[in-house]
Amino acid sequence: MKMLEGIKVLDFTINAAGPIVGAYFADYGAEVVKIEPPGGEAGRRFAYYVGGMSTYACGKDRGKKSIEMNLKDPEAIALIKKILPEYDVVLQSFKPGAMEKLGLGYEDLKAIKPDIIYCSLTAFGCKPSKYEFKPAYDICAVAMSGLNDQTGFPDGGPTRMGSVIGDMCGAEAMFCSALLAIWHHMRTGEGQFIDMSLLRNMIHLNNATLSLMNKKGHVQNRSGNHNANMSPYGIYTGKTASMVIAAVSPSTWNPLCDCMGREDLKTDPRTKDLPSRKENHKFVEDTITEWLMTFDDTKEAYKLLEDAGVPVCEVMTAQEVWENEEYHRLGWWHDFPMYSPEWDKGGIATNRHCPFFADFSAVSEEDRPYNIAPRVGENNMEILTQWGVSEEKAREMLTRWGSKV
């Protein structure tokens, strides 16, 4: 049995973070209906494209059904309210107040289905604040969390993170929050409103660093490729490659000293323990780098460290991650179909994703299929007729909305 089988979701979300939440629900067996404007929501147009379809959209909309609806039409709103009791979860990511103007706010829907779980995912949350209506994307939440300022080199400026972590982490947090609300509903019968802020979640993600701030005036500044609070704990570069070395405990620091032929560093007052190495981290970093540079092939140093049990790993390129055979063997990478054969006359392209958080012993591969993402409006007629609209009326509504018939 699929883990979320029986859960029904109405997904009004747009762009990236919100739609990814819907994809997670679909991955684990929930029925997810994506309600989008005629022509598709903005995230449908994010690059890159294969066969005229966004590969990004193929990931964030996998496993859903798509219906195009003009939410400015009172008849569309009335239909959604009519079928609402059949659904368990509502997902939305419009700016605060937008759903209320449509008559689809939490209080509106709660009056129809008191136990609805209503998930709102916005940049700054729905509580009144000076940021409440500020336009923002993932990168804005990351910048306002302190992460960009803490990333980069001391003599340089703030640095952009290499991935869209605001959206991805926000989606995972929203999914987790929704599951908690579902569990609460199972025990109490209560629904609730979930107010998720991308910014708040990024501050939460950055908490381990921000919490180092204190009333004594400590400020956590940029420290480049090394952690200024633990040493050695960073990225080191030799003649032919870079690697991460993390040797902060005696059981890992001592073997590192042995590999470098520097047994003296085990008792040197500057490096004998973690607090000492923290105060002298620049000396530690320079010592390790000088040793690495003695190898014409940095892989030789890497093997020495790995064989000695020192926590060390390659700094992989995106291409190397994409092609890593072990990641494939472990089942972390999955090739998802990209579009239905009826649009491609028999052919199906694929796009690679790492969609699942973990493996579950009670969940088979059959219970976790690689679900295809729908084309815009692919399920228009199917959904409208399921919702009790006659075929003739459905055609009239879709034509009026400028949707596919």
The 3 state secondary structure assigned to 61-111 is CCCCEEEECCCCCHHHHHHHHHHHHHCCEEEECCCCCHHHHHCCCHHHHHH
DSSP 3-state of 348: coil
Q: What is the pTM of this model?
A: 0.92
CATH number, position 292 = 3.30.1540.10
Same structural domain for residues 334 and 267? no
Q: Indicate if 338 and 306 belong to the same structural domain.
A: no
Shared-domain flag, residues 155 and 275: no
If one counts the domains in the chain, the total is 2
**Buried (b) or exposed (e) across 324-334, using 16+ Cβ within 10 A?**
eeeeeeeeebb
Q: How far apart are CA 396 and CA 405, in angstroms?
A: 9
In terms of domains, do 195 and 248 share one?
no
Comparing 41-55, 151-165, 317-331, 367-381, the range with the smallest average pLDDT is 41-55
Find the mean pLDDT for residues 235-249. 97
Residue 320 lies in a domain: no
Q: Are 232 and 245 in contact (CB under 8 A)?
A: yes
User: Which of 55-69, 131-145, 349-363, 385-399 has the least mean pLDDT?
Assistant: 349-363
Cross-strand bridge partners of residue 31: 8
- Residue 133 and residue 41 in one domain: yes
Residue 49: which domain range?
A: 8-205+326-401
352 strand-pairing partners = 335
Q: What is the pLDDT of residues 321-356, one digit of tens each?
A: 999 999 999 999 988 777 644 444 445 567 788 888
32 and 72 fall within a common domain: yes
CA distances from 390 to 277, 352, 373, 378, 397 (A): 74, 39, 26, 18, 10
Q: Is residue 2 part of a domain?
A: no
Name beta bridge partners: 243: 236, 314
Position 40 in a domain: yes
Per-chain mean pLDDT for the chain: 92
Average pLDDT over residues 50-70: 86
Could you tell me if 18 and 146 lie in one domain? yes
List the single range of 43-57, 169-183, 226-240, 250-264 with lowest mean pLDDT: 43-57
Domain stops at, among 269, 290, 315:
315
Q: In what order do the strands lie in the sheet with 31-36?
A: 65-68, 31-36, 8-11, 89-92, 117-122, 192-197
Instruction: Indicate the SS3 state at residue 57.
Output: helix
The CATH number linked to 133 is 3.40.50.10540
User: Hey, is 282 helix, strand or coil?
Assistant: helix
Q: Is 62 exposed, middle or buried (0-12, 13-18, 19+ CB in 10 A)?
A: buried
Residue 306 has which token pair? 């790995």
Residues 306 and 347 in one domain: no
Is 321 contained in some domain?
no
Cβ–Cβ under 8 Å, residues 256 and 245:
yes
Give the whole-number percent of the chain exceeding pLDDT 70: 95
Same domain, yes or no: 252 and 189:
no
In the chain, pLDDT over 90 holds for what percent of residues? 79
Same domain for 134 and 14, yes or no, is yes
Looking at the fold, whether 18 and 163 belong to one and the same domain comes out as yes
213 assigned to some structural domain: no
Is 58 or 172 the better-scoring residue by pLDDT? 172
Cα–Cα distances (Å) from 116 to 15, 32, 75, 189, in that order, read 24, 15, 22, 10
Condensed to tens digits (0 to 9), the pLDDT of residues 102-135 reads 999 999 999 999 999 999 999 999 999 999 999 9
